[in-house]
Structure 1
């Protein structure tokens, strides 16, 4: 399948690959149900302007031994891969053609759970990181904007079983978010696979 068969997405200074039907609905629903049940979800707090606030979603970090991940002032030590997550990782690695040693699971329980504007540009991800984002459950809008701009340049509807891969210089020039919405939406899991440099 051509990378842009389903939705043209050619942004300058970015490498984006979008497969809206990476998984069929049956397999995606099976993985969603099992991950919701098996995952030891946490809701850590981050410090903003001297006050602590719980992040507006639930999270879990899995990875190879030593694949510690630090973002937003939080350091995550990896949980060991479960058989299911090892199976999912193998499928994603096959699709992207490079190894991945960690995955961040985000559980968006409803439309009020969100992710603010950011780039995945932490030092341990290397200069041009590849981030493979697998979506299970409810559809949410994924926005992109140029760094330094307040205007949304492009939006994608990330639905059940969709895979979005960001690589190359994308994180140098672009930010992304999953904004709050008042539109009713089903619970959503987002699995972002990446390679953590030791």
Structure 2
């Protein structure tokens, strides 16, 4: 299903590993269909530069129902795990060596939908959070840049059925984003699994 030995794609101060075909095509298509139709998607407002704006994508949170999660002024209450989300979670936990408690889902409907530069460094994720990112649908560019030297960048294409694992000091030193693109011809759904500490 994936290569066991992977090279760290970051040149320094963090660990990121990419598995381009973690899931095979048939389950990928099935997962994508279920994600589109069975997830309770919302478009939420967030605070950016002192004003409230609508996020340029749809989102949802699933996981441990007793633990909420917040970012950018949003406080999200999770929906309970579905069978297919648990199936994806259990597959990536074998590689991540982490028990994920929640998954934050993002639905990029077209190239106008995006995610700006940020770090997943909320206190409830712990000192060195492990983030497992799974992608289904149309491939999208995923960019890193060093937080204190924004000239240092890395980019890769997140493909249908791929798994990106971020761990170690990555969230201290590196920002990441999904930029807007006029070349994108389809929708993408991203699942970012994380362990939220009480």
TM-score, normalised relative to structure 2: 0.94
**Unpaired segments of 5 or more residues in structure 2?**
none
Q: What is the CA-CA distance between 1:67 and the residue it aligns to?
A: 2.4
* Contact 2:137 2:188 survives alignment (8 Å): yes
* Partner residue in 2 for 1:188: 188
Map Cα deviations across residues 117-176 of structure 1 (whole Å, 9 max, x no partner).
000000000000000000000100000000033335110100001100000000000000
1:3 matched to 2:6: yes
* Partner residue in 2 for 1:143: 143
* Partner residue in 2 for 1:131: 131
Partner Cα distance (1:59, 1:176) in 2: 18
After superposition, residues 15-54 of structure 1 pair within 5 angstroms as 15-54=15-54
Partner Cα distance (1:10, 1:174) in 2: 9
After superposition, residues 25-174 of structure 1 pair within 5 angstroms as 25-151=25-151, 153-174=153-174
Partner Cα distance (2:75, 2:40) in 1: 17
* Contact 2:10 2:154 survives alignment (8 Å): no
**Unpaired segments of 5 or more residues in structure 1?**
none
Partner Cα distance (2:64, 2:125) in 1: 14
Q: 1:97 to 1:50 in 2, by over 3 A?
A: closer
Partner Cα distance (1:120, 1:127) in 2: 11
Regions of 4+ moved over 4 Å? none
Q: What is the CA-CA distance between 1:66 and the residue it aligns to?
A: 2.0
Q: What is the CA-CA distance between 1:95 and the residue it aligns to?
A: 2.2
> How many residues end up aligned between the 2 structures?
195
Q: 1:49 to 1:16 in 2, by over 3 A?
A: closer
